[in-house]
Structure 1
Amino acid sequence: MKKKRVYGLIATMMLAASILGACSDNEENKTDKSGNADNVNATGMPIAKEKIEVDGFAAKFFASQDWNSLMLWEEYEKMSNIHINWTTVQTEVLADKKNLLLAAGNYPEIFFASAFSRTDLIKYGQQGVFIPLNDYIDKYAPNFKKLLEEYPTVKQGITMADGNIYGFPTIYDPKFESLRVGAPWINQQWLEKLGLKSPETTEDLYKVLKAFKENDPNGNGKQDEQGWGSGYGIKQFIDYLRGSYGLNKQGTMNPNLDFKEGTEEFRFVPTTDEYKQLLEFLNKLYSEDLINKDVFTTEPQKFAAEAGEGTFGMLSEVDPKELFKLDGYVGAQVLEGPTGDRQYTAMSNGLGNLGMFVLTDKAKNPEAMVRWIDHLYGDEGTKMFFMGFKGVTYEEDAAGNIKYVDNITNNPEGKNLDQAISDYLTWPGGYYPGIVTQKYFQGAEAKENSINNAKQVMPYALKDEDIIPGLNFTLEENDQVSAILTDIQTYVDEMTASFITGKASFDKWDDYKKTIEKMGLEKYMEVAQGAYDRTK
């Protein structure tokens, strides 16, 4: 879920006078809204003593859903005494729709599941459109406040460069290991058929994939087997191999940055010798048809149909048994690279999108709405959001174990789990504020195979304290680097594909590096280093 759906800076002591002025305006806006605090119960339900109505905008995954008559929101209204008048759009058009609302000034009191970026949060926060949440969190969000105390790097990550928090994020519980880490899946039956062991080095991987392709492990007398496949792009391959090539030892919240060895000085990952070695290895696999040739163009739905035929020896993403109904796959090993590196580094601190719930300056009841959203970060609210309602969407045994009812997991209308649960809840699609915990999330990552996969990865995984949160820039810094980084990232992505497919020769590596330098890399690195140094 986190990899495909989901798929993440820092407080300063001082800011320019213009930014401080904007903060003062925000404080005035916040103070002006305190008149309705007397209508809010300090604890428990209902949240509002007298019923209130709130205009809300949200993104949804399924077009057929009507949030104004959905069980989740109807039941939560009964509990909280808060009615939301929902306007919803599908995730595909979310960016355009929310930007139009903000540009026209015709925006609602709350944005829910609207995926505002760090740039959006600091921009609209400084303009006074999004109100600072710090004081409200302190007074009205005990569940969320507890999480910030437990995971200080999450607090770092959501605190903008002006010291304010403008959005409630998605949090993937750091204790939920199988949601945070996982190697690709390798066909154990094929390994046994060919008398092979699961690869432990990058060279082993090459030999195993080659054997899968050439030695008929499915025993049908045809050379229809394929090596390693993914429907979600080359990033899945790169992320698995980063730690085998000594890259991203500070995690992938800032995927283009890691430290020079023995320092806290950033280097730009896509121009390192190690990244070149990684691309050379992938070029070797690609040129010998050991990874799916359409990896740069295929879409998940199209790839799923191909993968479901069982012709791939190794698959990225979630457990093939859950995704494609394929048996025989187990988690692959974390690989040792050509210079002895063996680590899993494609990790975050558990922080997903920052701007999944924001309050605008039109919010008439900010205290109540902070309590409303805080419920989704507590145990009961998380249970309601992901599992729904006892006797309707889930059942509970005497020991307190819960699971979806048969109507959800084996839907008589032929709906898959996401479709069936979406008749009641909104979480499928990955757009939501709240915390994803193993206790109440029952997707593929919570199943036994994924848990076993994570167990063998964890000895090689980064420690939480080594993972750097995403960098938060000031408005001025953001203006300086946004255009630079957009152009550089586009070029890096294009050249990564070209090097892997062989369209560009590795003889052109120095030219590639010089081009990136000419695009303003030095300025970007200077600003990024400054943003990190502020955290210290």
Structure 2
Amino acid sequence: MKMRNKPARLITVILSTVLLLAGCSEDGDSKKASANFHETGLPIVDQPITLTIAGTYDERTGTKWNELETIKEINAGTNVSINWNLTPGTDWTTKRNLIIASGDLPDVLLKLSSSQVVTGGADGMFIPLENLIGKYAPNLTNFLDSYPEVRQAITAPDGHIYSLPLANMSEYKHADGNTLWINKEWLKKIGMDMPKTTEELMKVLEAFKERDMDGDGNPNNEIPLTGVYGDAQYGLGYLFGSFNTIDESFIVQDDKVVFVRATEEFKNTVKYLSSLYQKGLIDPDTMTQNSTQLIAKISSSKQASVGAFFAWSADQITNAEYRWDYGSPMIPLVGPGGHQITPRNNLQMTPGMLVITKANKYPEATMRWVDRAYEPEMSMKLREGPNRLKKLDNGTYDTIPNPENFTAGEWKVKETPYNDFVYGFSQELRDKQVLPAPEPGQLDPDFDEWYEAQIPYMKPWVFPNIMFTDTQFKSIERYQTDIKAYTDKMEAKWVAKGGIDQEWDSYLETLNKMGLSEYAKVYQDGYDTNKANLEKK
């Protein structure tokens, strides 16, 4: 019996030796990698490494990010180079979902939803970052210490941080990015003042439709009003404030979470939009076009052919020949019930802007590299464009105006990924900018004066930036897709064809059958937990 066990013992010894040697080899590789990495100073690594980063891009900037002045500066002296795998914004959601589903991960992923961050973190697809931040990201640490609400927004309910943010904490960003611009030169032609009510807006648009506003002899080719249906920046949301609501899925009123699309206020808004559409005052393309098509429509002709549109800024997207024909954005219109509100938005934040995946062999080096984006002056350049900034002797930054061959928007994003990459922009940086004073009658949402003009009408109803638990996110996914698709379909149908009064009761009944109360409860529970956590601090 003992003789029979000898081969088995020999095999065991051999296997143990092999495993021990393998372990030593792995430790040796780890030590070698550690020796290659520097915790401070430059280069970040002795031997060059390449990281693959997948994300989306602004078409005005393009895909050659390694040639951008901002990225060149971030890369300089680090021995870290980047292989950018970038997808157009209109396709990124689909591409991102395919990447995650395939499991064939790049080293870094950009611009994820909060649910994808939490779920991917819980599943081990994305690595926890809080320790790496503490050790290797002093710039980001300083920013998070200055703005605890950003740290809270990126902290998952399990206590881990799986993503790095884009955050613009300038106070003026509380103003809504969706507003209405009306061609004041057209108003002069029709002898009408800037509308102050929804009724007056309808009369203005009717006049735009009936007359030859561009003087080409054809009174039927002008567009009274256009936008991008369902878009947060270019959509029709501005008009919701005239009916005592805002264009969000959920809002919070007196600590109660409300699903907007099941309210009388939503119903009244849709009826007004439908009345505009039925009269031919809303461009039919609004229901199908994207933001690129909208911008081309309002900027490509030699003279203005659009009477009014929804956007953040006319100055940045219209033709230079008539950009100021649109004057200033408008304070909220007074609705039939006397309502005149705009949301007090959460400050601009994308909590899931960057994750480091489990495929990444150099997480420490990656964290040191990306922390360079959070250095205050670099965040200023990423946000504002280095070609637009001139640093003055007193430490402030003057703004270099756009050349004639660039629109303001094109000039701003010429040398920066802008809102498709991380940065931490503070109110302190905002205060260092020497901003041009607005011309009389030419307020722009980038001016603090515009924000201040909105304050009297702001309502703090926007659902806060929070991270739900993995279980809550999965519950949200269970209901959200079908409910959103159904409400989108019905809203679009009612705007284009009417019928909301006749179908309203059956619509609410269908929503209840689809699980609206359970869907809303997840948001209420998440809000209550978040509020309780805040009160403990």
Alignment TM class, shorter chain as reference: 0.7 to 0.9
SS of residue paired to 1:307: helix
Task: Verify: 1:316 aligned to 2:314, yes or no.
Answer: no
2-structure distance, mates of 1:46, 1:71? 19
Deviations 1:223-254 (A, max 9, x none): 34432222465764542023222224xxx7xx
2-structure distance, mates of 1:312, 1:97? 34
SS of residue paired to 1:184: strand
Deviations 1:377-433 (A, max 9, x none): 23222244356668xx86556565445597xx456xxx767778877x4415x3111
* Structure 1 residues 299 and 161, CA gap change in structure 2 (3 angstroms): same
* Corresponding residue number in structure 2 for 1:159: 155
8 Å CA contact retained: 2:229, 2:236: no
1-structure distance, mates of 2:213, 2:91? 44
2-structure distance, mates of 1:264, 1:422? 39
* Corresponding residue number in structure 2 for 1:46: 42
Q: Aligned residue pairs: how many? A: 480
Deviation at 1:288, TM superposition (A): 1.0
* Structure 1 residues 174 and 78, CA gap change in structure 2 (3 angstroms): closer
Task: Verify: 1:427 aligned to 2:417, yes or no.
Answer: yes
Deviation at 1:282, TM superposition (A): 0.5
Deviations 1:466-524 (A, max 9, x none): 64324433222222231311000000000001111125442111111111111111111
SS of residue paired to 1:313: strand
* Corresponding residue number in structure 2 for 1:197: 193
8 Å CA contact retained: 2:164, 2:352: yes
Task: Verify: 1:533 aligned to 2:528, yes or no.
Answer: yes
Deviation at 1:122, TM superposition (A): 1.3
Task: Verify: 1:373 aligned to 2:370, yes or no.
Answer: yes
2-structure distance, mates of 1:188, 1:484? 44
* Corresponding residue number in structure 2 for 1:210: 206
SS of residue paired to 1:162: coil
Q: Compute the TM-score of the two structures, normalised by the length of structure 2.
A: 0.77
SS of residue paired to 2:281: coil
* Corresponding residue number in structure 2 for 1:279: 270
Deviation at 1:95, TM superposition (A): 4.5
Q: 1:466-477 alignment to 2 at 5 Å?
A: 467-477=462-472
Deviation at 1:534, TM superposition (A): 0.7
SS of residue paired to 1:171: strand
1-structure distance, mates of 2:412, 2:113? 28
Deviation at 1:46, TM superposition (A): 2.5
* Corresponding residue number in structure 2 for 1:331: 329
Q: 1:352-501 alignment to 2 at 5 Å?
A: 352=350, 354-386=351-383, 396=391, 400-403=396-399, 409-410=403-404, 425-427=415-417, 430-435=419-424, 449-450=444-445, 451=447, 453-462=450-459, 467-501=462-496
8 Å CA contact retained: 1:242, 1:346: no
Task: Verify: 1:506 aligned to 2:506, yes or no.
Answer: no
SS of residue paired to 1:334: coil
2-structure distance, mates of 1:298, 1:376? 34
* Corresponding residue number in structure 2 for 1:259: 252
Deviation at 1:344, TM superposition (A): 0.8
Task: Verify: 1:241 aligned to 2:239, yes or no.
Answer: yes
* Structure 1 residues 244 and 398, CA gap change in structure 2 (3 angstroms): same
* Corresponding residue number in structure 1 for 2:129: 133
Q: Compute the TM-score of the two structures, normalised by the length of structure 1.
A: 0.77
1-structure distance, mates of 2:113, 2:35? 29
8 Å CA contact retained: 1:495, 1:504: no
Identity percentage of aligned residues: 27
* Corresponding residue number in structure 2 for 1:119: 115
SS of residue paired to 2:55: strand
Find the partner of 1:270 among 261, 266, 274: 261
Q: Name the aligned partner's letter for residue 500 of structure 1.
A: V
1-structure distance, mates of 2:333, 2:215? 28
SS of residue paired to 1:328: helix
Q: Tell me, which stretches of 5 or more residues in structure 2 are unaligned?
A: 1-29, 533-537
Q: 1:26-175 alignment to 2 at 5 Å?
A: 36=34, 39-42=37-40, 45-46=41-42, 48=44, 50-51=46-47, 53-61=49-57, 65-67=63-65, 72-79=70-77, 81-91=78-88, 93-95=91-93, 97-111=95-109, 114-175=110-171
2-structure distance, mates of 1:259, 1:318? 24
2-structure distance, mates of 1:37, 1:271? 60
Q: Tell me, which stretches of 5 or more residues in structure 1 are unaligned?
A: 1-31
8 Å CA contact retained: 1:41, 1:47: no
SS of residue paired to 1:316: strand
RMSD of Structure 2 on Structure 1 (CA)? 3.8
* Structure 1 residues 66 and 310, CA gap change in structure 2 (3 angstroms): closer
2-structure distance, mates of 1:196, 1:368? 61
